[in-house]
């Protein structure tokens, strides 16, 4: 199955590399089940994942960001013991500006391979994953994989067309001076997230006593890969912009596989309130707040959620370390 996934990622890499020359860039003029605009490459990548994995005999079914319902392996193909959950092309909005994108996948055991899969079969917490990984399509194409015994990265050799082990036993540094968050949403953040980001921005003059750099690529795979290679912390927390949603990223095929990779590499993955791999899903396209990366930074953010700072003034201009300081003489 992993070999089939690797073959699919090679085919997607080739399609992305051809880009406008192959006529695969741009919008597909359609939306997925989440109501998001689909790119031509979203649909092509999804089709390649299904085509490349349904015949191998290892899978009982699949779930994808681009499918409304689970896909059961059809006859005459043999049905196997595993379930494949995937985001076929993460960050596809970056395709037209030639920024790195990727594919994310998660593998679970099916409760019963003798019958057609149901939605309930996929609603397993991330700790139940038997394998997870992602492919990143950047200056080079890399496949990052864990089967529960560490994290290893393979680089696609363009000369022989095979993935070769280039980065064995990757480890996320426990400490970092980089954070990644979309600051345009700052007015919607909960207080613990605002507190953490304020401390990072304050740098050496603030409570942390050191300067931080901020990065934001708007591609989950690219963010995860940077953190895996050199450390950092990524925050896409639940906020109040869309109160009905419990976050932005999908739990089963984005947060869980990336969280699995991070924790296998010595990092930490969290919702801010609890380990993300412990969350019991309630639906296949469930969204969740997601924070991951260098262990000590994620634990600090979790601590801020457990013990939020009391803010007396409702006016953000007068919060601690803000633009103005309250004075009894102020009118």
Binding-site sequence positions for substrate? 90-93, 182
CA gap 258, 220 in Å, rounded: 9
How far is C-alpha 49 from the chain's CA centre? 18
> In Å, what is the CA distance from 247 to each residue of 115, 240, 264, 280?
33, 9, 24, 15
Binding site feature residues for Mg(2+): 65, 87, 89-90, 254
State the DSSP string of 116-151. ---HHHH---GGG-SEEEEEEESSSEEEEEESSS--
CB-based contact 234:291 (threshold 8 Å): yes
Closest to 66 (Cα-Cα) out of 90, 82, 97: 90
Q: Are 28 and 38 in contact (CB under 8 A)?
A: yes
Which residue in the block uniquely carries the two structure tokens 């019991």?
Answer: 280
Residue partners of 248: CB distance under 8 A and separation at least 6: 236, 287, 289, 290
Among 218, 239, 215, 241, smallest CA distance to 227 is for: 215
Of 271, 291, 270, 173, the closest CA to residue 223 belongs to 291
Q: Rounded to an integer, what is the distance from CA 219 to the centroid of its chain? A: 8
| Residues flagged as binding site | 65, 87, 89-93, 182, 254
What is the enclosing helix (H) or strand (E) of 101? Answer: strand 101-109
Residues 92 and 42: beta-carbon distance below 8 Å: yes
Which one, of 131, 143, 127, 105, lies nearest residue 225 by Cα?
A: 143
Q: Residue 53 CB: number of other CB atoms within 10 A?
A: 23
């Amino acid at each position: 199955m992993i070999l089939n996934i690797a073959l699919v990622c090679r085919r997607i890499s080739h399609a992305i590399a051809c880009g406008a020359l192959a006529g695969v860039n741009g919008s597909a003029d359609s939306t997925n089940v989440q109501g998001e605009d689909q790119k031509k490459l979203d649909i092509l990548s999804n089709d390649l994942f299904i085509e490349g994995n349904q015949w191998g005999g290892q899978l009982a079914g699949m779930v994808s960001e681009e499918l409304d319902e689970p896909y059961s392996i059809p006859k005459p193909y043999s049905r196997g013991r595993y379930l494949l959950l995937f985001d076929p092309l993460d960050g596809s909005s970056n395709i037209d500006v030639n920024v790195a994108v990727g594919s994310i996948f998660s593998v679970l055991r099916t409760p019963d391979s003798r019958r057609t899969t149901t939605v309930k079969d996929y609603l397993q917490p991330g700790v139940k994953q038997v394998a997870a990984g992602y492919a990143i399509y950047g200056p080079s194409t890399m496949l990052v994989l864990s089967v529960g015994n560490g994290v290893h990265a393979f680089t696609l050799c363009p000369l022989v067309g095979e993935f070769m082990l280039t980065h064995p036993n990757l480890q996320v540094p426990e400490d970092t001076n980089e954070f990644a968050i979309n600051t345009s949403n700052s007015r919607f953040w909960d207080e613990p997230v605002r507190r953490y980001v304020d401390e990072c921005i304050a740098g050496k003059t603030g409570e942390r006593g050191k300067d931080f750099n901020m990065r934001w690529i708007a591609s989950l795979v690219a963010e995860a890969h940077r953190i895996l290679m050199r450390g950092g912390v990524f925050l896409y927390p639940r906020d109040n912009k869309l109160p009905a949603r419990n976050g932005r990223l999908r739990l089963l095929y984005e947060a869980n596989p990336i969280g699995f990779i991070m924790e296998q590499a010595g990092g930490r993955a969290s919702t801010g309130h609890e380990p993300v791999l412990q969350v019991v899903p309630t639906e296949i396209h469930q969204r969740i707040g997601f924070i991951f990366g260098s262990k000590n930074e994620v634990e600090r953010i979790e601590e801020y959620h457990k013990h939020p700072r009391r803010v007396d003034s409702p006016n953000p201009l007068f919060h601690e370390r803000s633009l103005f300081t309250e004075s009894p003489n102020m009118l």
